[in-house]
Chain A
């Protein structure tokens, strides 16, 4: 069974549209400078609506992770075990992603990762994912 793909809304569409082009974009507040992970109509720090999109450098580190052996739905049960991770991006935001790649089960906290794009479903919807950086 195909893994789920998100249903973008007016707040989040630029994030997912950029992902389809292989770009990771993040919302920056031009009033206070805050960067936010989940896109919104307003800045979660100062509540301004002066938000602009900037391309991320796609680098981060593993803040925490879990190797999941019991999936929440049948789609994920076809992909066990998978690695669920919180990734701290150099821009200062935290994303939830899967660590993918052949060495994914070796993931440790503090590992540097880069964002890659994984196609899902018949249409190949591209999901930002994390891959451990080759040193």
Chain B
């Protein structure tokens, strides 16, 4: 494989909005709130933005969300488009923003996400809308849902690697401990292995507390060209990026225990010139306990069958071998669709800037961020580092 050119782009602004149940919020209002906050974080103004990338919103389904957003926000960028890749959207937006600034097409690209899927639609409505990632003829008529599809992966994992209930639960508990340290996290009350094991079954072997939240919230990330980043407050380098795509429908996945995150992370690590062992803090898409467990092992942070044991031993916690999802992740911090994946980026930047307060990983110089869309279908990995 020909070595790829080194990245030069920087993340210059990040922000997320309040999280959880936000009565009165709107999807576009959350976009605008996040955009304003990210501009302030960077020390830039709306006039500095010449590229806009949006994701998708379930409460404002639209063919041209980026045009709708730019009109709503009041900007006329010279590059404007929307990207849809489920939970991988935020990382893929960022990777595209990097390409835009490195090609010279843009100087400052605003990647902006948000959804009010908790108060703007019913929980049942959200579950039904998400199930449309299933094949309309060959999966949905069988009662496929996103939790049931991840449950198919979990069942295979339990069968082949003997993963225990406590090992899965430990993933949720580790996230909750981090969320307790984040003032904006939705779920901050203590959680035990027993609480997870005793929560009601959603789709065996997954229980309620194995599952992510449904939240209102927004997040924005500004990516700038190297020279344009100099005027900003505290830029963070994008050192590596990569994608991996093996299927959309879980019935077509080539494996139930190895996924596209293996290829995406290998590309990102190679471009950054680092290995998994060099990573100080990881922010990895965790829609379900099994999602994080499968990704940690597929990426190579842990051997097969070892990630759950590592979670039980505290390896994923602050002070552990690989502090992971230090904001609390999708199960305890919040999950608002495309914004859910962006929260991981925001947290990684806070860690690298040493602005993570009580959750700060000491000496964090290299962060790994990962997004997964569909049923472990679309993957995008990023390696971020201090400027």
Contacts and interface: CB of A to CB of B under 8 A. Distances in A.
B136 A64 contact: no
Contact of B137 (A7, A65, A68, A76): A7
Contacts of B130: 72
B143 A76 contact: yes
A40 to B, nearest CB: 11
Contacts of A109: 155-156, 159
B57 to A, nearest CB: 20
Nearest to A97: B142
Nearest to B150: A66
Contact of A12 (B137, B252, B256): B137
A34 interface: no
A37 interface: yes
Nearest to B249: A38
A6 B137 contact: yes
A116 interface: no
Nearest to B201: A69
A98 B142 contact: yes
Interface in A85-102: 85-86, 94-98
B275 to A, nearest CB: 31
A38 B204 CA distance: 26
Q: Size class of B's contact patch?
A: 35 or more
Contacts of B153: 64
B172 interface: no
A8 B144 contact: no
Contact of A38 (B128, B135, B145): B135
Given A6-B141, A38-B249, A68-B145, A73 B128 contact: yes
A109 to B, nearest CB: 5
B143 A63 contact: no
Given A6-B136, A84-B148, A109-B156, A64 B142 contact: no
B152 interface: yes
Q: Which secondary structure dominates chain B's binding surface?
A: helix
Contacts of A84: 142-144, 148, 151-152, 203
A74 B256 CA distance: 28
B143 A67 contact: no
Find the residue from A8, A69, A109 having the highest chain B CB count within 10 A: A69
A52 B128 CA distance: 35
B152 A72 contact: no
Interface string A3-39: 1111111001000100000000000000000000110
Interface string B145-178: 1011001111110010000000000000000000
B202 A69 contact: yes
A127 interface: yes
Interface in B259-301: none
Contacts of B44: none
Q: Which 9 A-B pairs have the closest CB atoms?
A: A66-B151, A6-B137, A72-B131, A72-B145, A76-B143, A67-B204, A64-B156, A96-B251, A64-B152
Given A7-B136, A37-B252, 8 more contacts: A8-B137, A38-B249, A63-B256, A68-B202, A72-B130, A85-B152, A94-B252, A109-B159
5 contacts: A4-B141, A68-B204, A72-B127, A86-B152, A127-B142
Interface of B: 124, 127-128, 130-131, 135-145, 147-148, 151-156, 159, 200-206, 249-252, 256
